[in-house]
Structure 1
Amino acid sequence: MVKALFKLLWDVGLSRLAKMLGFCSPKAQLSCQNATDHHKSWQIIQIFLFSFSFELLQQYVDYARIQQEFPTADGYFQWIPHRPEMHRFLSDAVFGYCLALHVFRAGIRRNNSDAINVAKARFAPLFFGLSMPFYMETFFRDSVLRTKCPPELLNFLKKHESYSVSGNDCKGEGGDFVLESFNRNVKRLLPSGLPNEQGWIRACRNVERLAKVNEYMVNILGISDSTDPEYSYMYGIKNEILQFRSIIKESKMVDSDSTEGLCGEKLAAEFCNFHEVCMKNFKDYAEEVSKTHSLQKRLKPKPIIISKKQQIISENYLSFTKEELKTKIEEHSMGDTKKKEWQKIKKGKKEGIINFLKDLQKE
């Protein structure tokens, strides 16, 4: 989910935020854009969410004050359609997708099934807009499972969306994270170098016993233990939010008709209605699956282009390798005639492959 937001918002503002946070070199920018560090990426999204939400709401509060109205959530969403394209885009991105991710994480931490599923439903169309097949299928399978499964199984799923190893009700984690944490504790007991089978057996058999010994020694010595269930650490991002808000204010991005990102990147013409495209792709996908009763022949929608730079790259197929072109072609759904034609062309020259791809896009 975090990676999807980075794809959507990188040219809009995340690249500028990354530079503000010290990701200045090309390699650092690329690493940040790929969201390789989950914790840093999460903090960056949080800064983006709170900074832009404050700025967007400030505009509405000022308007309500002038109109001598009391600002409300309903009033904000009635006011939004009359705002410039950029403001509407940011409102969808911030209060739709970024906030959905925030609610999703809060739901996981507290094992709140309703919050988790509402957030997933609100966020999921972005997977279809960005054409992320794995996540599209995962969401669809999960939705079908929850719709079709017996009530007893559904209740079980709701009660076990996440797990708290420490017993703290506010520190739930997904099952995969729990396993990763356990594996990390086991690996700490292994000697350096490549572990052998005997080492793994010894560590796994004694990990819980040694954890109790560690806890006992910590209590005797009276020292702080970072694994204590009540111990928590969260990096404060208040200063970063204030700093990024000043950048947003200087750019006048929120209250202007500009179609540029914070770094001056020109945004594509279709960026303003990206949410509608996401929803259309989602509905088309669902209809196709309901017709074929199979996820094997699912639609692969064309990803939304946010910036002009992305548009130029997508149109300039001469810079693509043959393998990249083949991948793009195979993302399209083709009839039997086109498939036979493609089998002949794919072994030919690059020029023929490009022409075939352009023909597909015209259809």
Structure 2
Amino acid sequence: MRSIDARLQKIVGDGDAEKDHIDEQMASNKHDQEFGKTCPVCGKEYSRRKQKCKQAGCDNVILRISKRPADSSPVTFKKKKVGIIRHEFLPSGSTATTRVPTKSQSPYEHIESHHPEDPIKIKARDPVFVNPNSYANMITVLQAIGKDLKVQKYDSTSKRQWAVVICDGLPYSLCTKILKETYTCSVCNAAIFRRTAMAKHVAEAHDRMLQEQQELTLEFGWVLLRIGYGHYEMNMVRSFMELNWEVFGKDLADVLSFKSLNAQRYAKACSDNHKSWEMIRVFYLGTLDELLLPYVRHCKKLKEEPTAAGYMQWKEQTVKNPNYLYMFSQVTIYVQAIMNMRGGLRRNNSSMVDAARVMHAPVFHGRNHPKYSEIEILEAGRCMGQPQEVKAFMDGIQSFSDKGSSRGEDLDFKTEVINQQSKAWVSHGVPTEEVWLRIFRNLESLEKLRSSTFKRMGLKDPKDIALDGTTHEPRDEDINAWRLHLRQRDYLNPTVTNTTKFESVSGEELCEELLMMSDIGMRRRRFNMNKLFGDVDGADTEPPRPIFVKESERVEYDDISNKTKENIKEIVDGMIANINSDSTRHELEEEWHYVQKKNKQTLVNFYNTIYELINLQGHFVVDSLSDDDIDDNNQ
């Protein structure tokens, strides 16, 4: 509601709501299409097909391309001041503070900040020289962390009983299994992953008497695992862009000059987090303005003051266009969740972060994002299951900031900054482990040396200038260009006509179930929760179908040849079990016993054989697939 109020004030403050600068630009574009050329002598306008002026006295002068109507002034968008990054000399005796022209107030000032008055100092420890991409390597990393922190598990004289470990997606997924299935051998203190490996280790390494005395204790019971929310936010952006690429994403990228095939792929993959953030902001602000404009014009006719509450009431009573309703939900729920996540991290506000995670959950669960859909559920379980004292501690370390109350980042991003700092001190050539250890053990002193050197030279540190001058707020020109693109297509007209369809910005038909993505996503979330924890009320017994954006996705999903061997086995098992004829069912079961051990193509052929047999004999009831599903699979 706060964002709606702010944008309403902006639209009203721009002036005449009946015909704004976007309408003027549309009129200019339309004029240029109809009268593309002008005579430079007499000023007569011609269509683009004409080459020369035929008026008397013009002597067949060559026509020039028109830029705007002859009787109108240029249409310009308001330009925003951009800070320039540069070296600056400091007056003698002054402190190294930086002032670069940016917006006067942080966009997150309205969010309550929980950053401590004295910033928490972040120090680099000795690196562990393994790639955290396997169970064995992550066990090595966790043991190194525990020993470095002197956890009681590894140092009986220590008072530290547990520690928080923060990591991004892949290490987090590996750690969730490691924490539950890594045991300590009570004889030799070896860390053994998985119970079967533990039994084998005891049998091979220790005698029978010691085997009987063996007790299973978890190696990493001291670890409290948490996802790095910097990477979590990045994947929120990626999943949102993946969902909406065909709806509006490719149009938005084209408007922002991602025009080539490679540029479009780059934009869709969100390869640059900063550019992706600017794209999201352009979509958010431009689309929200276009959603609110019809209501502002409605209020002007009635001579009423536009308010957020009034807008919500007007939308419920007036808007029927499915395109408008879908874009409204994307802006006010899912993009707003991304904004809230960024704001919560910047201000160390765990309540805002938790709310953003739950708001965005249907996107992870509704589409194919197995890793982060599981992470979302595990994080929700951690937040609800931790004791109150632990929760208070965890809420205080949601993010960390040493540059002000609106500069917070989680530790996964903070460690990346430390890594960048360390690389700056690497000399030419490939660094050895000894070089890395020397750098990390002296990194704090080296950074102090860098800062003092710039100060003594009377220069501001370019790194600090770049940081203070960085803003990823979109340009007004980009927002207005996106608004123009939407308005030219009349995409967000709140009224419905006989030709109104649920379609993308570029005019491609979309699946109607996309309008119910919140319900479908939460159903799939309950099913996934039931798989992880069990006993979830209202969970489906079979996995609900994912959200399809276009009909081609549904056809591809239902195609039996695109399914895994395990999925095909489940489908065939269900078809055989529901055949009415006992003799036919027994014959197929015997044949299926041998066929299911073969390759995937053989399984697909057997499925087609059963399908044809069922159609010919007409004795079947299949619960696992509908008739339409089977028809699609067989095509």
Return the TM-score normalized by structure 1: 0.85
- The one of 478, 485, 506 equivalent to 1:240 is 478
AA aligned to 2:294 is Q
- Shift, 1:356, TM fit: 5.0
* Structure 2 residues not aligned, in runs of 5+: 1-235, 578-588, 612-621, 630-635
Contact between 1:10 and 1:33, CA under 8 Å: does it hold in 2? yes
User: How many Å apart are 1:100 and its aligned residue?
Assistant: 1.0
Question: Are 1:310 and 2:553 an aligned pair?
Answer: yes
**DSSP-derived class of the 1:31 partner:** helix
Amino acid at match of 1:261: S
Q: Would the aligned equivalents of 2:511 and 2:549 in 1 still touch at CA under 8 Å?
A: yes
**How far apart are the structure 2 equivalents of 1:350 and 1:330?**
10
SS at match of 2:477: helix
TM alignment of 1:278-317, pairs within 5 A: 278-287=521-530, 289=532, 291=534, 301-315=544-558
One-letter code aligned to 1:350: Q
- 8 Å CA contact retained: 2:454, 2:460: yes
1:251 aligns with 2:476: no
Matched-pair contact (CA < 8 Å) for 1:130–1:304: yes
Deviation, structure 1 residue 248:
0.7
* Runs of 4+ residues over 4 Å off in structure 1: 287-290, 298-301, 315-318, 330-344, 354-361
Secondary structure (helix, strand or coil) at the match of 2:455 reads: helix
For residues 206 and 338 of structure 1, do their structure 2 counterparts lie closer, same or farther at Cα, with a shift above 3 Å needed? farther
The aligned counterpart of 1:169 is 405
SS in 1 for 2:463: coil
Aligned in 2, Cα 1:212/1:74: closer, same or farther, shift over 3 Å? same
Aligned partner of 1:182 in structure 2 is: 418
- For residue 329 of structure 1, what is the aligned residue in structure 2? 567
Instruction: Provide the secondary structure at the position in 2 that maps to 1:252.
Output: coil
CA 1:127–1:301: 2 relative to 1, 3 Å: farther
Pairing 1:33-44 to 2, within 5 Å after superposition: 33-44=268-279
SS in 1 for 2:328: helix
The alpha-carbon deviation at position 220 of structure 1 amounts to 2.0
Q: Secondary structure at the match of 1:56?
A: helix
Q: What amino acid maps onto 2:307 in structure 1? A: T
Shift of 1:147: 1.3
Distance 1:198-1:348 versus aligned 2 partners, 3 A rule: closer
Kindly indicate which of the two structures has a greater share of residues assigned to helix: 1
**Closer, same or farther in 2 for the Cα pair 1:175/1:299, shift >3 Å?**
farther
SS class of match (1:135): helix
Q: Using the aligned pairs only, state the percent identity.
A: 25
Shift of 1:306: 1.1
- Per-residue CA deviation, residues 245-290 of structure 1 (Å, 9 max, x unaligned), is 1001101111163422222332122222222222332334445555
User: Aligned match of 1:10 in 245, 266, 271?
Assistant: 245
Q: Which amino acid aligns with 1:311?
A: R
Contact 2:248 2:505 in 1 (8 A): yes
Residue 338 to residue 62, structure 1, CA distance change in 2 (3 Å): farther
Structure 1 residues 17 and 346, CA gap change in structure 2 (3 angstroms): farther
CA contact (8 A) 1:288 1:299 kept: no
Q: Which residue of 2 aligns with 1:271?
A: 514
1:278-331: per-residue Cα shift (whole Å, max 9, x none)? 2332334445555358xxxx975432111234334435566x4xxxx2179389
Cα distance change of structure 1 residues 218 and 258 upon mapping to structure 2, 3 Å threshold? farther
* Larger RCO, structures 1/2 (Cα 8 Å, 6+ apart): 1
Deviation at 1:224, TM superposition (A): 3.0
Alignment of 1:167-246 (within 5 A): 167-228=403-464, 231-235=468-472, 236-246=474-484
Cα contact 2:374–2:528 (8 A) shared by 1: no
Counterpart Cα distance in 1 of 2:336 and 2:263:
26
Check whether the contact 1:300–1:333 (CA below 8 A) recurs between aligned residues.
Answer: no
Please say if residues 131 and 300 of structure 1, whose CA atoms lie closer than 8 Å, have aligned partners that are also in contact: no
Tell whether 2:350 aligns with 1:123.
Answer: no
Change (3 A) 1:62 1:237: same
TM-score (norm 2): 0.51
Describe the superposition over 1:99-127 as per-residue Cα deviations: whole angstroms up to 9, x where unpaired: 11011101101111121111112111221
Quick one: structure 1 residues 60 and 110, their matched pair in 2 at CA, closer, same or farther if it must change by over 3 Å? Answer: same
Q: Confirm or deny that 1:353 pairs with 2:609.
A: no
Do the aligned partners of 2:341 and 2:353 also contact (CA within 8 Å) in 1?
yes
SS in 1 for 2:419: helix
> What is the distance in 2 between the residues matched to 1:317 and 1:41?
35
RMSD (Å), alpha carbons: 3.3
Q: Which amino acid counterpart does residue 253 of structure 1 have in structure 2? A: Y
- Cα-to-partner distance string for 1:26-66 (whole Å, 9 max, x where unaligned): 22212221212211111111111111111111122223334
1:354 shift after superposition: 7.9
Q: Secondary structure at the match of 1:189?
A: coil
Q: Which residue of structure 1 aligns with residue 233 of structure 2? A: none
Which of 47, 51, 65 aligns to 2:286? It is 51
What is the alpha-carbon distance in structure 1 between the residues aligned to residue 295 and residue 573 of structure 2? Answer: 50
Q: Give yes or no for the alignment of 1:260 onto 2:503.
A: yes
Q: Secondary structure at the match of 1:227?
A: helix
Q: C-alpha separation between the residues in 2 aligned to 1:343 and 1:33? A: 44
* 2:348 aligned partner: 111
**Is the contact between residue 282 and residue 479 of structure 2 (CA under 8 Å) also seen in structure 1?**
yes
Cα shift at 1:134: 1.6
Pick aligned residue for 1:91 from 328, 332, 356: 328
The AA in structure 2 aligned to 1:243 is: A
The alpha carbon displacement at 1:361 in A equals 4.5
- Partner SS, residue 534 of structure 2: helix
- Give, in angstroms, the shift of residue 77 of structure 1: 2.7
Q: 8 Å contact 1:300–1:332 — kept in the other structure?
A: no
Is the Cα–Cα contact under 8 Å of residues 271 and 306 in structure 1 kept in the other structure?
yes
